[in-house]
Amino acid sequence: MAPRAGQPEHRGPLLPGLLLVAAALSRPAAPCPFQCYCFGGPKLMLRCASGAELRQPPRDVPPDARNLTIVGANLTVLRAAAFAGGDADGEEAAEGGVRLPHLTALRLTHNNIEVVEDGAFDGLPSLTALDLSHNPLRTLGGGAFRGLPALRSLQLNHALARGGPALLAALDAALAPLDELRLLGLAGNALSRLPPAALRRPRLEQLDVHLNALAGLDPDELRVLERDGGLPAPRLLLADNPLRCGCAARPLLAWLRNATERVPDARRLRCAAPRALHNLPFLDLDEARLRCADGDADGRGDEVELAGPELEASYVFFGLVLALIGLIFLMVLYLNRRGIQRWMRNLREACRDQMEGYHYRYEQDADPRRAPAPAAPAGSRATSPGSGL
């Protein structure tokens, strides 16, 4: 078609120019790291399930990755900036370096991680979910989570049991900067108390501490769980803890009855001590049954004996069983009275015959006519009537 008069003529190079601009603005997709599986899509997902030969996070993770999972490796030590170019020999990444700016979820379960150094997760500013469960942590830096301002979910289930009190103290320091934390998992860690820093997270919505060694919650912990300033109180998962149902458990019982929705597994709570209340549902107890032993003001004694309704009922049942046994015995005697009388008569006659036999032998032995003749003297045999002497 011929161009109209006064209209500039468009030449053919327009389309190739647009293609060159599009090629310049676009960049080729980064290759998938060695020993990892990449799942494409709007949010790139990587799963690295290597064996013991993987001792540090892969360096060639695409920068646009959103989800990274490493399971079954032998990472052992997460050094500073381990995911932002930090070297395995301790060399840290350049200051302010961000290698995975879009990563939102990081799962590092079953990787034999024992040490997490300060700043191990530097360079992950968008990370919202971190899972370190099922790792034998022994050392946790107080600044291990300092570079995670957006972190909302932290899972440390079955990861703190080997670290002892020092690790729990370090956990308090490590949780301090996580003001956006919503979900904290601490199940299966043999905890005997709740970490104070966890209770003070202002936006915490759920704290999972089931399957630990919690004997109860003291009034100070219950007070911290009641938020001030209109903030919603967190949910608490407490099942499978060895609760001591003494007088010290009364505040916890009252708190649970007033806020049952705050503890979704409240119906699964069981008493571990004292023996009289062992395995009884905690919520079904009356406060009057939560007693302390003499000289045991904290209610933690194991030898508290409670004379509750169950114990009284057991005594009544035992008495009824004994009465029933006695009644059955009397009925047996009544139904066999003739046979018992015959047996008594035969026994009496047998005893009488036996006694008569003893009496007869005694009389025979006492008769003087049956006494033996006396023996002749020894000298009488020297003479005889016919000797003439």
- Predicted confidence (pLDDT) at residue 3 exceeds the cutoff of 60: no
Q: How much is the mean pLDDT over the chain?
A: 81
Report pLDDT for 68.
92
**Both structure tokens of 228:** 């001030």
DSSP state of 138: -
pLDDT in tens, 128-160: 999 999 999 999 999 999 989 999 999 999 999
Q: Which of 130-139, 147-156, 238-247, 368-377 bottoms out in mean pLDDT, i.e. has the lowest?
A: 368-377
Segment 79-108 shows an average pLDDT of 73
Q: What pLDDT score was predicted for residue 63?
A: 85
SS3 241: coil
Hey, is 270 helix, strand or coil?
Answer: strand
pLDDT score, position 87:
53
Distances (CA, A) of 117 to 59, 78, 145, 170, 213: 18, 6, 9, 11, 27
Q: How far apart are the first and last CA of the chain?
A: 201
| Residue 72: both structure tokens together | 């079954």
CB–CB of 179/151 below 8 Å?
no
Higher pLDDT, residue 253 or 384: 253
Report whether pLDDT(164) > 80: yes
Q: Quick check: 248 and 291 in contact, CB under 8 A?
A: no
Does residue 77 surpass a pLDDT of 90? yes
pLDDT of the residue at 13: 54
Q: Report the CATH architecture of 36-177.
A: Alpha-Beta Horseshoe (3.80)
The lowest-confidence range among 24-33, 133-142, 296-305 is 296-305
User: Does pLDDT of 95 surpass 90?
Assistant: no
Cβ atoms within 10 A of the Cβ of 293, count? 16
Give the number of other CB atoms < 10 A from CB of residue 238: 24
Confidence at 26, pLDDT banded by 50, 70, 90: very low
Per-residue model confidence (pLDDT) at position 301 = 47
Average pLDDT over residues 101-124: 94
Report the pLDDT averaged over residues 157-170.
92
Report the distance separating Cα 37 and Cα 31, nearest Å. 11
Specify the pLDDT at position 36: 76
C-alpha Rg value of the chain to the nearest Å: 46
209, 240 in Cβ contact below 8 A? no
Q: What are phi and psi of 320, to 5 degrees?
A: -65, -40
Q: How many Cα atoms sit within 13 Å of 151 on the Cβ side?
A: 26
pLDDT surpassing 80 at residue 120: yes
| Segment 41-63 mean pLDDT | 74
Longest dimension (CA), the chain: 209
User: What DSSP element (H or E) covers 207?
Assistant: strand 206-208
Q: Where are the domains of the chain?
A: 36-177
Q: HSE, CB side, 13 Å, CA atoms: give it for residue 47.
A: 6
> Between these two residues, 282 and 362, which has the higher pLDDT value?
282
| DSSP run (H or E) holding 268 | none
Q: What is the pLDDT of residue 147?
A: 87
Q: What would the mean pLDDT of 167-182 be, rounded to a whole number? A: 94
